[in-house]
Copies of this chain bind each other. A is one copy, B any other.
Amino acid sequence: GMKVERLKRRFDEMAQIGATERGGVHRLALSDLDREARDLWTHWSEEAGFKVRVDDFGNMFARLEGNFPEKKPIVLGSHLDSVPKGGKFDGTLGVLVGFEIIESLQEKAEDLSCPLEVAVFTNEEGARFPTPMLGSGAITGVFSKQHVYDMQDDDGKRFEDELKRIGYQGEEKNRLKEVEAFIELHIEQGPLLEAREKPVGVVKGIQGLSWHRVQFIGESDHAGTTPLEHRKDPLLSAVKAISRINNWIHRLEDETLVTFGKFDTLPGSINVIPSEAVFSLDIRHPDHSVLLDRVETVKHLIREVALEDDTQSLCEDLSFMPPVAFDESLIDTLRESCRANEIDYLEMFSGAGHDAMYIDRLGKTVMIFTPSQAGKSHCEEEETDWEDIEKALRVMHDNVARLALT
């Protein structure tokens, strides 16, 4: 049967790999610590008698075969990598809950209508190799193999070299292909479940996002000798553009989110008017056409400022991920599992991207969220109550049983 103590014990053991002083984890993709985490997970899987396979991007799958190996599998799982000084729940919880469930269903292997798998995807965070959900995107054709293999971290180390170095370059034939269902449990990473006092989120989809690099180019000059009216200051253009975009977004009063995470100047000297100001732009909305519309308006506002200031502007597109709507029947089954277990839930969209966003291309997909204390994530303070985790585990177990047990 299902054992929350076993889950908790494994969770604590995994949280020691890359543990930080203040209770988080620092476990970047394809690092030595990532290898340690992978080794531990592989050891547990083999110990429990599951077949483990590794694909050519280092994605790993533990499989409970059952009597219908030819059927498409139901897959659970998430990722084991973290952002720098991140939290111990992000990704890991989904992997270990999935593992607990297939382990607990092992005794019913004879009754399974299809194989069950637990997946661990590579470089979900995009923190080391700078594209999130790289492993799941690679096997679903979003990124080419060469592109992924040639990606470099900040020290110029290649993805392929690091994958080989830690011993997790598997074979192409081991990739996940079609799935009967992919069910990803993840922490919410936002404040909604806590605010509404719901232990579980039934996730109906993931909002879309558009990433850009905005550059203003002006004329570098001496801070002490250049009269204000002689200046073409790209920093002031960037500041004006950010103000204007931000004011516009606030006036909209809808779900649009815009974030400016990076801002930098060149040459970056205290007494030199910059020649360039560069900032990043993260725009999100749950509706595809609204998102495209928001991107257009933002680009328009940027060009407008450059024209007014006689500076030059450039808005480079970095990534676009359209919103994903999860499978209606899976959402329905999840609602039933909540109700059957008398567990209160919130129907919601995910603000953050997850591997489910890409794995959705291989079959029906849904996600379950657990609450994040104070909405905190991607930091050492990230926390989720074990009471809530236990509820999510029950819902997930019920859900898989409904889908897989004949």
Question: Residues of A at under 8 Å CB distance from B?
Answer: 83-84, 126-127, 132, 188-191, 207, 209, 211, 220-228, 230, 233, 235-236, 239-240, 242-243, 246, 249-250, 257, 259-265, 267-274, 277, 280, 282, 284, 318, 350-353, 375-379
Query: Which one, B264, B277, B351, contacts A224 given CB within 8 A?
Result: B351
A260 touches B243 (CB 8 A): no
CA distance A242 to B269 in the complex (A): 17
B264 touches A353 (CB 8 A): no
Query: Which one, B127, B189, B242, B270, contacts A225 given CB within 8 A?
Result: B189
B226 touches A375 (CB 8 A): yes
7 contacts between A and B (CB under 8 A): A225-B351, A227-B257, A243-B243, A259-B272, A262-B270, A263-B265, A270-B318
A188 to chain B, nearest CB (A): 7
Taking A240-B243, A249-B228 as contacts, is the C-beta distance between A270 and B280 under 8 angstroms?
yes
A223 touches B274 (CB 8 A): no
Q: Which residues of B contact A189 (CB under 8 A)?
A: 222, 224-225
Q: Which residues of B contact A211 (CB under 8 A)?
A: 270-271
CA distance A235 to B282 in the complex (A): 14
Q: Which residues of B contact A190 (CB under 8 A)?
A: 222, 224-227
Q: Chain B: which residue is nearest A260 at the CB level? A: B235
Taking A190-B222, A221-B376, A376-B221 as contacts, is the C-beta distance between A272 and B261 under 8 angstroms?
yes
CA distance A190 to B273 in the complex (A): 13
CA distance A262 to B246 in the complex (A): 22
A15 to chain B, nearest CB (A): 20
Taking A224-B351, A224-B352, A379-B220 as contacts, is the C-beta distance between A273 and B261 under 8 angstroms?
yes
A224 touches B271 (CB 8 A): no
Q: Which residues of B contact A220 (CB under 8 A)?
A: 378-379
CA distance A226 to B249 in the complex (A): 14
B240 touches A228 (CB 8 A): no
Q: Chain B: which residue is nearest A253 at the CB level? A: B228
A271 touches B261 (CB 8 A): yes
Residue from A83, A246, A270 with most neighbouring chain B CB atoms (10 Å): A270
A151 to chain B, nearest CB (A): 15
Q: Which residues of B contact A259 (CB under 8 A)?
A: 223, 233, 271-273
A354 to chain B, nearest CB (A): 10
A218 to chain B, nearest CB (A): 12
